[in-house]
Structure 1
Amino acid sequence: MPLPLDQPEEPDSEVAPLADGRVLIRRRVADRQMFSLLYPTGPGTGELLLGAVGCAEMTLLPPSPDGRCVYALAAGEDHASLWRVAGGAFGPEEVARIPGRCSGGVWLDRAGRMLALDRREPGGGPVKAVAVDLGRQGEVTPLLQIAPGSNDRLLLADADSGLLLLRSDAPGHDRLGWGVLGSCLPVRFPECLRLPDVAVTPFAVQPGQMLMPESCAVALRIDGAPGSWVGVWRPAGRQLHQFAAPLGWVPGAGYWSRDGVLRLPYANGATPCGVALLDAPEDVEPSSVTGRTGGGEDGREPSAADTAPAVCKPVPLGQAPLHGAARPD
């Protein structure tokens, strides 16, 4: 649908979807951040102005789990300001100030109360993930403390299973690792996620795996010289399956269904807007890692050979099961 303005959006504008179908957009105008809600009105798009925040830089956080609120983070030299920019009663409002330099942003619960941020203390030091309790005026508690001097950043969290995906240099260099929220087991750094000459970043976790973090399928964006493609991995499987992305994939965008189907949005000359479906593959030698501390002294796991990348099955957006409908054959 066309946007309500007669000019293109700036490259640094950000959007976030809400559960009711509206889309929040953040636009920078001079030294202010402008927020509006876009919504369909017949053949066009309506716009509801929410207000502005007077700061030069802000970053939208992922929408809250209830799909009704959106928060934004404004980083300062010695503190970060957390703003609720959609879902409040009176437009954008500051809800918390967190000491230190903050980045990231991962929700830890379904209620939208516990938010994880990556923080560096005001006096310097390593970056550590902390939990911010929005129900207690932004009270901050430690979340990741792998080693005293390590940089420990949280990338993804799944509220159903408790699975955490993180990045840390505690093993001696920057590695992808996983753990379980509230578990006493150590963080593990799978060897199969350590690929030469590419960057691997998780972007989606399979929901609905109650108390079974090892069974969750994790989608990863793999960036290398040839471009970007998709990886699928489970903590219990110790294998990284690689797939060619559909032509025109929006890198790092995707959603898992509860039954293990990954949906990847794409757009190209043949399909202006579509969704590719990818079934989570089964590992050749499934195993359970429950209660174990890993394959070696540093918690690493053995790698496994990958087959040639497969191709996702494209489906035009009009036929895509966006609301839990049966997947077309």
Structure 2
Amino acid sequence: MTACAIEPPSTSGTDGVPEAGCVITADGAYAARLAPAGDCWFPERWTLDGPEPYAVPLPGTQPEEPGTGVQPMGDGRVLVHRPSASRHLFSLLYPAGTGTGELPLGSVECPEPGTRLVLLPPAPGGGRAYALAAGPRSGVVWLVAGGAAGPERLAEVPGRCAGGVWLDGTGRLLALDRELGGRTKTVVLDLERGVVSPLLQITDDSDDRLLLADPDSGLLLISSDAPSPGQERLGWGVLGSSLPVRFPECLRLPDCAVTPFAIQPGQVLTPENCAVALRVDGAFGTWVGTWRPAERRVRHLPAPEGWLAGAGVWTPKGVLRLPYATRTTPCGVTDLPAAPPGTQPATPPGTQPAAPPGTQPPTPPGNQPPTPLETPAPAPAATRAVRPVPVRPVPLQQAPLGRLVTN
């Protein structure tokens, strides 16, 4: 997930806690995490697509460090990333009889000071895994699993890079948030051609980041300070659309950090009906929100006990699957069906009930009317024609990726 002001604070692995609680494959079949064993940590693979979820421990010859990264592959193996000074070691773990088999893949050198190498989100298909070496002047994308022979350097993107969102179902088009000239904009990298193109630029002076994308519907979840300079806002748009990015007022929860973590797949041509899962962190704890662009309301739900916060996946039928682990249930999944369109949403803890759809709360004397439900992003200075979203990847100078918002 892209690091920005709207996200809750995350651990860095330096305080004895792993960075990521759980990572799930793009198809939702497998998950991986570092599981605790006393004061130690070991990789664990979860199988999620069977009748019941189950975990397979994959301990190595020695415990893992809290900074170790793990990622499930499509065939059930688990990729392990072990940082060591300026070198980063990669291996694939798999069950082998009563123990754990390990296939070393090689290492990546990051000699430049200030460079941080992290695994990118699981790629579609599950056959390959990628990492981003983010340095102070450029970011380098590496293929670290699934290549012909060890880690392979694919492309370098000028500027300080972060994030990582897949835009297509083939694992070719990767969006990165790039800071260049004091502003952050999202660019897209064609991994086959090594070409970088603009993707998201709402205004010249705004910081614009891509948080999530759904290749089926084209729905994009965006963070930007364009509507409120100096304050990050959550917005949504559609890849290739000529309509402006929208910033719903319902996604602004006072004194809460709201982080989108999953979009319902399979909703071709109907992005406004896609359900979006939100992690909400506030004074009353952490809970789950679900939201659809068409409804402009957030439904608030209690998180299951032991939720691996921020982890979850939607099924095409609209069921949100949330992994959790407790002392009595070390591997569990809670299924939360999405509310039918038009259902009155619940309210977040410690707040008053929201006004019913189509109504406005009364305005106290002397106060201004409430803010509209949606705030359109300011239009960019230039206007360019928009072509339909291509069915398959095409050379980027012919694709509409650089023309997300044009009016």
With the length of structure 1 as denominator, give the TM-score of the two structures: 0.85
Moved segments of 4+, more than 6 Å: none
Counterpart residue identity of residue 11, structure 1: P
Aligned counterpart for 2:219 among listed residues 141, 163, 167:
163
State the 1:295 CA deviation. 5.3
- Is 1:234 matched up with 2:311? no
Query: CA 1:47–1:243 in structure 2 vs 1: closer, same or farther (change >3 Å)?
Result: same
The residue that corresponds to 2:182 in the other structure is 125
The residue that corresponds to 1:54 in the other structure is 109
**Aligned partner of residue 269 in structure 1, secondary structure:** coil
How many Å separate the matches in 1 of 2:262 and 2:67? 23
Q: State the superposition RMSD in angstroms.
A: 1.8
The residue that corresponds to 1:197 in the other structure is 255
State the 1:240 CA deviation. 0.3
Q: State percent identity of aligned pairs.
A: 62
Higher relative contact order (CA 8 A, sep 6+): 2
How many Å separate the matches in 1 of 2:329 and 2:78? 23
How many Å separate the matches in 1 of 2:133 and 2:202? 27
Counterpart residue identity of residue 77, structure 1: P
How many Å separate the matches in 1 of 2:286 and 2:168? 30
Asked if the contact 2:246–2:374 (Cα under 8 Å) also holds between the matched residues in 1, the reply is: no
How many Å separate the matches in 2 of 1:298 and 1:215? 19
State the 1:211 CA deviation. 1.1
How many Å separate the matches in 2 of 1:235 and 1:281? 13
State the 1:48 CA deviation. 0.6
- Is 1:90 matched up with 2:149? yes
- Is 1:153 matched up with 2:209? yes
How many Å separate the matches in 1 of 2:90 and 2:274? 35
How many Å separate the matches in 2 of 1:57 and 1:48? 24
State the 1:44 CA deviation. 2.7
How many Å separate the matches in 1 of 2:100 and 2:287? 33
The residue that corresponds to 2:376 in the other structure is 299
Asked if the contact 2:248–2:374 (Cα under 8 Å) also holds between the matched residues in 1, the reply is: no
State the 1:5 CA deviation. 2.4
How many Å separate the matches in 2 of 1:75 and 1:269? 37
How many Å separate the matches in 2 of 1:164 and 1:295? 21
Aligned counterpart for 1:3 among listed residues 58, 77, 85:
58
Asked if the contact 1:66–1:111 (Cα under 8 Å) also holds between the matched residues in 2, the reply is: yes
| Residues 168-183 of structure 1: pairs in structure 2 closer than 5 A | 168-172=224-228, 173-183=231-241
The residue that corresponds to 1:33 in the other structure is 88
Render the CA deviation track for 1:235-259: whole Å, top value 9, x for unaligned.
Answer: 0011100111111100110011010
Asked if the contact 2:221–2:234 (Cα under 8 Å) also holds between the matched residues in 1, the reply is: yes
How many Å separate the matches in 2 of 1:86 and 1:215? 35
